[in-house]
Amino acid sequence: MGDNILAINCGSSTLKFQLIESNGETTILGQERRLASGIVDRIGGNATIKFNDLSGECLVENSEVADHSEAIHQVLNWLKSLRFFETNGFRAVGHRVVHGGDRFIKPILINDEVIEAIEALSYLAPLHNVPSLMAISAARKALGSTVPMVAVFDTAFHHTLPEHASRYAIPQELTSKHHIRRYGFHGLAHQYMTERYAAFTSKLIEQTKLITLQLGNGCSATAVKDGRSVDTSMGFTPLEGLMMGTRSGDVDPSLVGFLSRSENLRIQEVEHLLNTKSGLLGVSGHSKDMRELLEAELQGDSRAALAIEMFCYRVRKYIGGYLAVLGGADAIVFGGGIGENSPRVRSHICNGLEWCGLILDHEQNTSTIGSLGRISVDNSRMHAYVIPVDEESIIARDTVRYLCEHLGN
Ligand code: ADP
């Protein structure tokens, strides 16, 4: 068996992977050697497949990919065609699983019982856990039982939320009966930003006080104290919190009943509307894509401008709330497609935060696109950083850590 770790990251209609060379527990996050990586996008229809490896060998094609199990076969077949299996194979496979519920707060070795438990949690995250389960089953079938597989959970980083932050103010009996709590999501991303921030600034993780912002299609903010999540904007489902590409984020819960009655919609239809037709898409009326909206705003599109304004305003509101939660922060950290690549959005969010000591360095902000760096001036009391998030590397790192701790290899 080789030393390579295959990290699999399933979204609702995507599968990303990275094949990472492992140096055991000594691998430093952000300094791994990637042997291959790729994405199968728009699974469930005519998918786009983009794979590439170190030598520059690549595959780009469009083809029908019915589900995540077929996507796994595409990945494994391609790796096979490059002879990865013959040279040194995989040491293990790590899978991101979105919802670990109350039970999975740490990585775990996948076996039949764990699969059943993840299946049982699917009612909490049907869009996400089901694709991961398909990928896990397909990979197990293809690779057999000699390759250990580890599940890494996106909710796990937030299990440290204190009860006053994780509870909803609804009757206790219902909370207990249905395991209702604010689980929080994007945990791998927030953990990654926290760890990379600590390494980059030579601080101890246990001494970090941060607000991490994952701003992609899905968006969330997390308050991190002493390296642990103490509050986060997504809740029981990923719908709560910031405004997102197609999700509304926070709304008055009465809207659900009101829209159901006044539009004659079933509750599930209202939920669907809040998840898939709202957010940037709903307000702008034409796109969920921040790049397109920024362009439209420049062309004078007032609805696009309002969508961007609302998006930034809500992030700023959460920053304000989390500054109160944390009693001030050392830094805010931007990650995700928007956070990493849009100086305009970052500057819009930070505009008006001078009162709490954040002074952006406009040159640094403009030049930091898709790369790690500080974007606040030297003497800013609170700093701002851009940290491009790489979930696959944390999946691989946690997988290796699990193997070293539990299987002694
Ligand atoms: P996901 O949450 O699905 O992983 P990403 O993190 O890739 O999504 O983020 C997608 C979002 O990032 C889209 O709204 C896209 O427009 C935005 N984005 C990507 N590049 C840029 C850019 N250069 N400027 C502004 N927004 C960008």
Please write the tens of the pLDDT for every residue from 234-267. Answer: 999 999 999 999 999 999 999 999 999 999 999 9
Q: Residue 54 has which token pair?
A: 């170190």
Stretch 274-283: mean pLDDT, rounded?
A: 96
Q: Give me 363's structure tokens.
A: 């040159």
**DSSP run (H or E) holding 373:** strand 373-374
Residue 331 falls inside a structural domain: yes
Q: Are residues 216 and 138 in the same domain?
A: no
255, 343: one domain: yes
Note whether 97 and 233 are same-domain residues. Answer: no
**How many residues are there in the chain?**
409
What's this model's pTM, rounded to 2 decimal places?
0.95
Three-class SS state of 298: helix
143 and 221 assigned to the same domain: no
Residue 1 pLDDT greater than 50, yes or no: no
**143 shares its domain with 279:** no
Residue 240 lies in a domain: yes
Last residue within a domain, chosen from 153, 178, 205: 153
What residue has token string 């995507």? 14
Mutate-to-test residue for ligand 1 from 48, 127, 217, highest number of ligand atoms within 8 A of CB: 217
Q: How far apart are the C-alpha atoms of 148 and 144, rounded to whole Å?
A: 9
Backbone angles phi, psi at 78, to 5 degrees: -65, -45
- Radius of gyration (C-alpha) of the chain in whole angstroms: 21
- Asked if the structure places residue 393 within a domain, the reply is no
- For the CA of 280, the closest atom of ligand 1 is 14
For tokens 């304004």, name the residue: 309
Write out residues with Cβ below 6 Å of ligand 1: 216-218, 245, 289-291, 294, 336-338, 341-342
- Ligand 1 centre distance from Cα of residue 291 (Å): 7
Asked whether residue 159 is assigned to any structural domain, the reply reads no
User: How far does residue 282's CA lie from ligand 1's centre (Å)?
Assistant: 17
102 and 223 share a domain? no
Q: Which of 16, 30, 174 is nearest to 7 (CA)?
A: 16
Number of structural domains in the chain: 2
CATH of the domain at 303: 3.30.420.40
Q: Is residue 166 part of a domain?
A: no
Catalytic residue among 3, 53, 112, 154: 154
Q: Which of 393, 316, 333, 328 is nearest to 368 (CA)?
A: 333
Mean pLDDT over 198-213 rounds to 97
Q: C-alpha distances in angstroms, 45 versus 13, 51, 52, 65? A: 9, 18, 22, 6
Distance from Cα 78 to the centre of ligand 1, integer Å = 27
What's at 267, amino acid-wise?
Answer: I
Q: Is the pLDDT of residue 87 over 70?
A: no
Chain centroid to Cα 163, Å, comes to: 23
How does the average pLDDT of the chain come out, rounded? 94
Given the DSSP bridges, would you call strands 228-232 and 15-21 parallel, antiparallel or unpaired?
Answer: unpaired
Q: Is residue 355 included in any domain, yes or no?
A: yes
What angle, rounded to 10 degrees, do the helices at 290-298 and 343-350 form?
80
Segments forming the whole domain that contains residue 227: 187-386
Same domain, 57 and 147: yes
41 included as an active-site residue: no
Short-list 382, 371, 243, CA closest to 320: 382
> What would the mean pLDDT of 87-94 be, rounded to a whole number?
82
Range list of β-strands (E), 75-124: 92-97, 108-109
Q: Would you place residue 342 in the very low, low, confident or very high pLDDT band (cuts 50, 70, 90)?
A: very high
> Do both 237 and 369 map to the same domain?
yes
Bigger pLDDT: 190 vs 88:
190
- Residues 357, 308: one domain? yes
260 falls within a domain: yes
Are 213 and 336 within 8 A, CB to CB?
Answer: yes
Ligand 1 centre and the CA of 405: distance in Å? 36
DSSP string for residues in 386-398: E----HHHHHHHH
Sorting pLDDT into bands at 50, 70 and 90, what band is 154? very high
Taking a C-beta distance cutoff of 8 angstroms, is the pair 171, 165 a contact? no
Domain co-membership, 375 together with 331: yes
Judge whether residue 103 has pLDDT over 70: yes
164 is a domain residue: no
- Whether residue 144 sits in one domain with residue 34: yes
The dihedral formed by the CA atoms of 183, 186, 189 and 195, expressed in degrees to the nearest 10: -10
Last residue of a domain, one of 153, 170, 197: 153
Which residue among 111, 127, 153 closes a domain?
153
Residues 382 and 276 in one domain: yes
